[in-house]
């Protein structure tokens, strides 16, 4: 039995920030519980090695259910399981959404979540150099940077966007959120900066009021009346604990873990939970529904000459583009990658490059549902990729844009042929 003011569940992007900010007040006792380890493999700090983290010990290793929009394909669905969570395994791109995306949240009823409402928090999160301080932070914990060295294939790719009439943006996170630009990455002195690196590690040993417990899996939220009063968790050795929160439990277990924990705690669609013999606390059918994620496609080219690697994560150029000029804002990200991104099951060219494309506002919706009442069992993850025909049309438009970039005159000296 341990008592705290706040219990934060999950030390990923959100949980690292929550625990660090709440514990700034020395009078507030904060407990942070994370099922992953305190440290991961050395590859976690090497930007170019990020793809090797997928399927590693710091990845939950989820798979989707068979995707009806993809001819029944089952896809890996990586999520970080380590201090830093998915920010410990992700591709480190530091890109705000277009302002219209946040404004749509506010228009849909999320008062206080429009772009202008969030801008002070975006600024507070980052330190940038040479940017417009109206939009960009100057003293926050994250240190995003565009690459210092500009490799020639990436320079040519930027020229390809220009050749095809797409605008250039000096800062996609600033005033001008449309066009092609150099990618900003959360990479500091050549190393990944996860949310844990930025927010948690600098303070966690210095604050006696902040307790961080790793290898601790929360099994259930304790509900008393209509209040969450604490959590039940198990350490790796099987020892079980109950921790009580005098103030609040802050659920930051991520897009898969948070709905799973609510379900295990009896909060969700009552009939589905009863089928797993879970006692109902609140019948809330929306918990676990409306999962939405960005599909990513790629066009892979064999190279006519070796493509010199960039210094970061293999991707240096990003275009935020409109596939249809009648749209009010960009609907597609098109990106350059200095290696052939070929799924492991397929043979790719030895040397090559990739033009990737991703829908910014997918319409398809899926769900996260329980497979079992066992907290150790993976839930059923269904992103519902391409189940909405508008997403199919959008991805085809993205494919055309990507092929135009890859097939441009500016990329001619690098391109041998399109291979996938
Ligand atoms: C491969 C990959 C590449 C990506 N690339 C980018 C990118 O380049 N740029 C970008 O902006 N975004 C990227 N993302 C997305 C981004 O990383 C996530 O959106 C973000 O990290 C989510 O933050 P979160 O706090 O919601 O969840 P997470 O960071 O996933 O944190 C959830 C934490 O909760 C823990 N947890 C879950 N269940 C429990 C439990 N029961 N008990 C205790 N702990 C629990 C997990 O282990 C995890 O540490 C990428 C994601 C992936 C997986």
Contacts of 343 (CB under 8 A, 6+ apart): none
Predicted confidence at residue 2, as pLDDT, reads 66
**Same-domain pairing of 230 and 162:** no
**Same-domain pairing of 326 and 296:** yes
**Same-domain pairing of 208 and 164:** no
87 in a domain, yes or no?
yes
CA-based torsion, 242, 246, 251, 253: positive or negative:
negative
83 lines ligand 1 (CB under 6 A): no
pLDDT in tens, 102-156: 999 999 999 999 999 999 999 999 999 999 999 999 999 999 999 989 999 999 9
Position 93 pLDDT exceeds 80? yes
Q: What is the mean pLDDT of residues 211-225?
A: 97
**Same-domain pairing of 296 and 412:** yes
218 lines ligand 1 (CB under 6 A): yes
The model's confidence at residue 310, banded by pLDDT at 50, 70 and 90, is confident
76 in a domain, yes or no?
yes
Q: Whose CA is nearest to atom 37 of ligand 1?
A: 253
234 lines ligand 1 (CB under 6 A): no
**Same-domain pairing of 175 and 223:** no
**Same-domain pairing of 305 and 336:** yes
113 in a domain, yes or no?
no
- The number of folded domains in the chain is 2
The model's confidence at residue 166, banded by pLDDT at 50, 70 and 90, is very high
**Same-domain pairing of 199 and 77:** yes
Structural domain of residue 209, as residue ranges? Answer: 1-94+193-252
125 in a domain, yes or no?
no
Which of 58, 80, 84 has the most ligand 1 atoms within 8 A of CB, as the residue to mutate?
80
259 lines ligand 1 (CB under 6 A): no
CATH of the domain at 302: 3.30.560.10
DSSP per-residue codes, 288-304: TEEE----EEEEEEEES
- Per the prediction, the chain carries an average pLDDT of 96
pTM comes to 0.96
Position 311 pLDDT exceeds 70? yes
409 in a domain, yes or no?
yes
Q: How far is CA 105 from CA 102, 178, 333, in A?
A: 5, 20, 20
| Cα–ligand 1 centroid distance for 388 (angstroms) | 25
155 in a domain, yes or no?
yes
160 lines ligand 1 (CB under 6 A): no
231 lines ligand 1 (CB under 6 A): no
**Same-domain pairing of 387 and 299:** yes
In whole angstroms, give the CA distance from residue 309 to residue 295. 25
**Same-domain pairing of 61 and 207:** yes
200 in a domain, yes or no?
yes
């Amino acid at each position: 039995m341990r008592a705290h003011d706040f219990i934060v569940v999950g030390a990923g992007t959100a949980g690292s920030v929550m625990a660090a900010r709440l514990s700034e007040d020395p009078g507030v006792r904060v407990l942070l519980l994370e099922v992953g380890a305190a440290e991961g493999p050395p590859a976690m700090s090497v930007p170019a090695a990020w793809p090797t983290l997928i399927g590693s010990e710091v990845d939950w290793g989820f798979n989707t259910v068979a995707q009806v929009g993809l001819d029944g394909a089952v896809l890996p669905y990586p999520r970080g399981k380590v201090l830093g969570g998915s920010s410990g395994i992700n591709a480190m791109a530091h890109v705000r959404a277009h302002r219209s995306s946040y404004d749509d949240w506010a228009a849909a009823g999320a008062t206080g979540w429009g772009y202008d409402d969030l801008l002070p928090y975006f600024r507070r999160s980052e330190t940038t150099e040479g940017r417009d301080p109206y939009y960009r932070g100057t003293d926050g914990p994250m240190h995003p940077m565009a690459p210092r060295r500009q490799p020639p294939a990436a320079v040519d790719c930027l020229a390809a966007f220009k050749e095809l009439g797409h605008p250039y943006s000096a800062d996609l996170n600033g005033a001008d959120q449309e066009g092609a630009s150099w990618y900003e990455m959360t990479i500091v002195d050549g190393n990944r900066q996860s949310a844990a690196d930025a927010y948690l590690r600098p303070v966690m040993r210095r604050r006696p009021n902040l307790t961080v417990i790793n290898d601790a899996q929360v099994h259930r939220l304790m509900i008393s009346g209509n209040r969450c009063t604490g959590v039940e968790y198990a350490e790796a050795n099987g020892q079980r604990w109950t921790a009580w929160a005098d103030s609040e439990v802050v659920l930051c277990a991520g897009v898969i873990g948070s709905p799973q924990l609510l379900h295990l705690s009896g909060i969700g669609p009552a009939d589905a939970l009863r089928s797993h013999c879970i006692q109902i606390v609140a019948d809330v059918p929306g918990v676990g529904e409306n999962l939405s994620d960005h599909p990513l496609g790629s066009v892979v080219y064999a190279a006519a000459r070796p493509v010199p690697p960039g210094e970061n994560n293999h991707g240096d150029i990003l275009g935020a583009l409109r596939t249809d000029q009648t749209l009010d804002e960009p609907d597609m990200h098109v990106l350059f990658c200095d290696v052939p991104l070929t799924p492991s099951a397929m043979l790719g060219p030895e040397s090559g490059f990739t033009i990737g494309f991703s829908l910014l506002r997918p319409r398809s919706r899926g769900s996260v549902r329980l497979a079992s009442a066992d907290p150790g069992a993976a839930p059923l993850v269904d992103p519902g990729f391409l189940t909405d025909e508008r997403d199919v049309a959008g991805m085809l438009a993205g494919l055309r844009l990507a092929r135009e970039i890859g097939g441009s005159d500016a990329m001619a000296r690098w391109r041998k042929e399109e291979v996938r």
